[in-house]
Chain A
Amino acid sequence: MTNTKRRQPRRRVRAAIASLAAVVGIATLSFPAGAGAAEATLCGGKLELNNDIPGIDPPGGLSYKFDCNATVLGYGVLSNRQVDYFSTEVGVLDFTSGEATSEQFGCEGPFPSSGFGCRGVANFGNFINGEFAIGRDPCEAAKTKADKFKVWVVATVVQSDSVTNKPFTAVTQPFRLKGPACKTKSVRKETRR
């Protein structure tokens, strides 16, 4: 029984890896011939605890913020925790001033689930800034290394072929969002006990 419980996080991680492989597969299929000459898109961002989402009882609320070095037309947020809320409209902040732009995303998806998808537009480098909630405390100590709370973002971006200069869409690899920073004891200490 205990062994079965221990195996579950591993199974979930394996399932996550399989899902992400599928995502990468989709990305590969979307590349037109010759598109390999384009530069790789990089995305990055972080998670923060958010206990101030109106209507969401803490804990579980999170803010996410990320950007890519390309125009983003859509993105998916995926987690190894059950997602049971996401903000349906997501704003975009200018990467130089930090102020709100006229760009925006609308988000859709199932609950509870492993994530959600958003469509809209964010120009090169601008920050996509949204909220979601999971069913557990994000700072809950992980029982195993594999059980550690993780969130990835995969984006649909516009790239330009370096030979023909023609724009095309591509799906990025999954990028792990950093955080959230928790004030609780470190996971390693909890696990040793």
Chain B
Amino acid sequence: MNNRLRRVGVLSALALVTAVPTLAPASVAAKPTITMSGSTSVAPLAALLARKYLRFCDHCVNFKLLQGGSDIGVADVAAGRVTIGNSSRDPKPSDPGGLVFNKIAQDAICIVTNSANPVPGIDQAGVQAVFGGGVRSWSGVPGSTQTGTIDAFVRTPASGTQDAFQKIFMGSTKIFSGASQKASNGLIQQSVTSDPSGVGYVSLAFTKGVHVVPYKGVDCTLRNAKSGQYGGVRNFYMVTRGAPTGAAKKWITWITHNKAAAKVVSTQWVPLN
């Protein structure tokens, strides 16, 4: 499939959605719209929270949710293209000035292998060896039932998950250049699901159908993430240009302070309170 075809396909699909605004009530147009772009890890949470918030505030706002990766979200909000940039990574010195990273939740990053290769555990040195390219065969990984070449799946550079994984798990060790880059958690999940030699890392919400490898002797579970026992936890942010104001301020305040919002977060992520 060439890129030109894909571009045309994407444009056509987006044209369909924008061409069909007619069924919503007419009063919707007068409400403020909060546009969000960025992290594919934050997007599932943002979608769930938006539904709850619409009911809480009696449909006081409209939302528009786009994706693209954390770096895209940060760049979009800095340029004023969106109200909020969703980010699953911490601020970087290279980020544009004037941005406020509003922390909304935490998320566990899990190391995953194919269900036919239930690796019993891995420590930080093991993660660095597998994803850094120091160990290229499963026979070099203790407890692995596979013997062939390791197929490492990593995220694209624009990804916040990639940045957080580098910071939390890899430290100064560079990721192996031969690893396959994927654009989303779901693609890593699908790649590892269908490849017995696969290994990758995903947000906790994307661990269905794969084996989740305990890290430093601790299972990557919501309970262990909430208790602080699991070491691979990162922050989720809604980034605004300056301090949030108006509808965006109410929305972010509701996420961080309302019990109903915390209940939604608690289904797959770690709430702040």
A residues apposed to B, CB below 8 Å = 12, 15-16, 18-20, 22-23, 26, 30, 54-56, 71, 73-76, 78-80, 82, 84-92, 99-104, 106, 108-119, 121, 133, 154, 156, 158, 167-169, 171
14 other A-B residue contacts (CB within 8 Å) besides A88-B40, A106-B40, A158-B1: A56-B48, A84-B51, A87-B44, A91-B190, A99-B193, A102-B191, A103-B190, A106-B67, A111-B47, A111-B51, A114-B20, A114-B21, A121-B6, A156-B16
User: B56-69 vs A: 1/0 string, CB under 8 Å?
Assistant: 00010011111100
B197 CB to nearest A CB, Å: 14
B15 nearest in chain A by CB position: A26
A19-B19, A85-B48 as given contacts; A118 in contact with B65, CB under 8 Å: no
A112-B24, A114-B22 as given contacts; A100 in contact with B10, CB under 8 Å: no
Selecting from B101-109, B141-149, B167-175, B180-188, the interface stretch reads B180-188
A73-B5, A73-B10, A156-B12 as given contacts; A85 in contact with B47, CB under 8 Å: yes
Q: Quick check: B20 and A22 within 8 Å, CB to CB?
A: yes
Complex alpha-carbon distance, A168 and B67, angstroms: 26
B residues apposed to A, CB below 8 Å = 1, 5-6, 8-10, 12-17, 19-25, 28, 33, 40, 43-44, 47-48, 50-52, 54, 59, 62-67, 183-187, 190-191, 193-194, 206, 209, 264, 267-268
Q: Quick check: A114 and B24 within 8 Å, CB to CB?
A: yes
B19 nearest in chain A by CB position: A22
Q: Quick check: A109 and B65 within 8 Å, CB to CB?
A: yes
Which residues of the other chain, A, contact B62 by a CB distance below 8 angstroms? 110-113
A77 CB to nearest B CB, Å: 9
B66 CB to nearest A CB, Å: 5
A19-B22, A103-B190, A110-B63 as given contacts; A115 in contact with B17, CB under 8 Å: yes
